[in-house]
Amino acid sequence: MNAPSTHLVIADDHPLFRDALRQAVAGVLTSAKIDEAGSFEDLTKLLEQTPDVDLILLDLSMPGISGFSGLIYLRAQYPAIPVVIVSASDDSATIRRSLDFGASGFIPKRFGVETLRDAILKIMDGDVWVPADTDLSAVADPDMTRLRDRLVTLTPQQVRVLMMLSEGLLNKQIAYELGVSEATIKAHVSAILQKLGVESRTQAVIAAAKIAGGQWKQGSPTG
């Protein structure tokens, strides 16, 4: 995997941490091409222009996303690209949910460079990497499992709409941001409510926040 064609993207809004992660990656993949994104918008633009990415290192909380929304979107839109979560929120529940939503690994930010390098090597070899002390044996909440299974049925565009609903944006604002008609957004919202088994956009946002363990930011959805 150390061929010049290896292409990684580091998505994190902290320049100093991106630099540290870049150095860790470069230490084990000396010929890799490494791009950086400081916001989720930057990441999606980069992927639209250059979809031949081998690995994405994604922070759970950065401008444009909160909680697992970014991970859910990336797994839906780019299912062939492995995504590894690199986060300061590293409790067992967060790690387990990251894997449930399709992450190929979870690297806590508190770990040193050597551990980062070891984790990246194993993930690039196709393994799933989580901290050795992570307890993944707890029985999952059936309600959470059902809700998670519903969330992953959303299309990439529906995930983006739900992310914007969670920020409290109106249909017309979402339509403007995504460059589509307001009628298209209304259709997406209706589909989201049906897939999540809820009756209102407020309930949809609450459901999304619940599965994210409070990490999915909630606005004041109206309109």
Separation CA 124–CA 203 (nearest Å):
39
CA distances 178 to 28, 49, 171, Å, are 38, 17, 11
The predicted structure's pLDDT at residue 179: 92
Helix (H) or strand (E) holding 204: helix 201-211
The predicted structure's pLDDT at residue 11: 94
Separation CA 204–CA 189 (nearest Å):
9
Considering the entire predicted model, what is its pTM? Answer: 0.80
The predicted structure's pLDDT at residue 125: 85
Dihedral sign of CA atoms 10, 53, 35, 39 in order? negative
pLDDT along the chain (223 residues), means of 10: 72 90 84 90 91 90 79 89 89 85 89 82 86 75 79 89 88 93 95 93 85 49 40
The predicted structure's pLDDT at residue 184: 96
What counts of helices (H) and strands (E) characterise the chain? 10, 5
The predicted structure's pLDDT at residue 139: 61
Question: What are the structural domains, with CATH classification, of the chain?
Answer: 7-125 (3.40.50.2300), 142-212 (1.10.10.10)
The predicted structure's pLDDT at residue 1: 46
**Per this entry, what is the length of the chain?**
223
